[in-house]
Amino acid sequence: MSTNDRLNILLVDDQPGKLLTYETILASMDENILKASSGREALEHLLKSDVAVMLIDVCMPDLNGFQLAAMIRDHPRFRQTAIIFISAIFLSDLDSLRGYEMGAVDYVSVPIVPEVLRAKVRVFTELYRKTRQLEQLNQELEARVAARTIELEEANRKLRESEERRSQALAAGQMGSWEWDIETGNYFWDDGQKLIFGVKDDFIASTENVCAIIHHDDREAYLQALDDIATGRSSRQFEFRLGRASGPVKWCFASAAATNERDGKVRRVSGVTFDITERKNAEERQKLLADEVDHRARNTLAVVQSILRLSRANNISDYVNLVEGRIYALSRAHNLLSRSRWLGASLLGLFEEELTPYRAADKITLDGPDVTLRPEVAQSLALAIHELSTNAAKYGALSTLEGRLAVRWAVYGNNLTIDWREISGPPVRPPERRGFGSDILLSSVEKQLNAVVEMDWNPLGLCCNITVPVDTGIEVIATAIA
């Protein structure tokens, strides 16, 4: 409410002449004058309009001034309305006290002095005006405070959400954030940093406590990196390990930067830590795999060289067929090993790859547990299986429709045994001389795998038994034991 707003002044008297007199006296105040000739009419005005001051005649018929004041004060809305009693008769002290108890703020006696009446009314109108202004200012202030509170709550909500997103991003990336106050030496670690270092919430981060967790060989480099930043270098990236030299370690990568004050002095160092253990392990596995592939390639080339040098044939065409078949056997073993990333090859897979061309009419039976072979074992046995299969297809059970082949293997104790048995084929007799196929079976398998090969040239069908020690340097992994 502005200071120029006109206020309502209610005049209550049962005599019209007096109402006109009061109105004339107060006209110069430039306020709204409301008039009521009875208590009932006065109450109607109060219910319709806000009234700053009321002038009430004490002596009125039906409802006197005291009774009207009591009714007004009983209403919560009008408890603070200023009431001035006007009395044409002498009032005793008890009457005055009763008036004040009814809520009167002042008395005016007849005859009325215009200046006194205006002065009294002006005091209460100005008080009313100031009160309303204060109420309005208070409401505006409360509205501003509420709006600011909403803004702050929204800003805090966005800040919390931003912090949660940051924490989630750091956790998803296996990262943690930290801050080091150089002046106080205090550290602040978030949950991600504590998780990476493997400490609990009550862990006190200090240079001494942090260095106790860092790998002994990396502590000096870690402290040197922090010192470089604290003494002027704007940022650093460095790697370090967590854990003891004799136990498992965790690799970390840290990126840190300094915060400079206006005087150029470094006050704080902030950074993030990444858990790169998985990456380091992957790099190590990749290096080992590269070394393993290099080793396998040399071994495979050596085997191919032996195949080329030792293979014998009557003509070039037969020689090519022999060499191709043996190299294809190596290739099939290589494919099986590649599928498992050179972790091993299935023995059943080696037999199925080699014998697939001859499995028509249920001529072949394969029976044995699920056995996985190390790469060296798989390559040697692949050549042995190829030679047995080729011999059976040329001269043995697989060369006729009636011939049958049964292959069984099992793991007994520390030995893997393979039993190759041909039946119902052409009559068998021992070879007059040992060829390259026999060299592979008797020399390569026995020497490389420390295996025992037993050949039985039974006229009813060749029987070959191969026993490979499981606990030799070339291990055989059996996932199901017979």
- Distance between CA 146 and CA 150 in Å, rounded? 6
Query: Which token pair is 106?
Result: 């002042």
**Could you give the CA distance from residue 212 to residue 277 in angstroms, rounded to a whole number?**
19
Q: Report the CATH fold assignment for 8-138.
A: Rossmann fold (3.40.50)
Hunting for tokens 């019209």 — which residue is that?
16
The tens place of each residue's pLDDT in the chain, 482 residues long, gives 444 578 999 999 888 888 898 889 898 888 999 999 888 888 888 888 888 888 888 888 777 777 888 888 778 788 778 888 887 665 555 666 666 666 667 777 778 888 888 888 888 888 888 888 888 899 899 999 989 988 888 888 877 776 666 666 566 556 888 888 888 888 888 888 888 888 888 888 888 888 999 998 999 999 998 888 888 776 888 999 998 655 678 899 998 888 776 666 778 888 889 888 888 888 887 887 676 666 556 555 555 554 555 455 667 776 666 566 656 665 665 665 666 555 677 888 888 888 887 776 678 999 998 888 887 788 778 878 888 888 888 888 888 888 899 999 998 888 899 999 999 888 888 876 655 556 656 666 787 788 888 889 888 899 999 998 886 544 555 444 33
**Closest by alpha carbon to 418, among 448, 381, 471?**
381
- pLDDT value, residue 419: 95
Is the overall model pTM greater than 0.85, yes or no? no
CATH superfamily, domain at 325-478: Histidine kinase-like ATPase, C-terminal domain (3.30.565.10)
User: Residues of CATH 3.30.565.10 domain(s) within the chain?
Assistant: 325-478
Helix (H, G, I), strand (E, B) or coil at 349: helix
pLDDT of residue 405: 93
Instruction: Determine how many CB atoms are found less than 10 A away from the CB of residue 431.
Output: 13
Q: Give residue 473's pLDDT.
A: 40
Q: In whole angstroms, what is the distance from residue 448 CA to residue 421 CA?
A: 24
- Measured CA angle at 191 (ends 189, 196), to 5 deg: 85
Which residue intervals of the chain bear CATH 3.30.450.20? 173-275
CATH of 173-275, one of 1.10.1040.10, 3.90.1150.10, 3.30.450.20, 1.10.4160.10: 3.30.450.20
Predicted pLDDT at 186: 86
User: How many residues can be counted in the chain?
Assistant: 482
- Which pLDDT score is estimated for 22? 87
- Percentages of the chain per state (helix, strand, coil), in multiples of 5: 50, 25, 25
Within the chain, all domains assigned CATH 3.40.50.2300 are found at 8-138
Distances (CA, A) of 305 to 297, 317, 332: 12, 19, 18
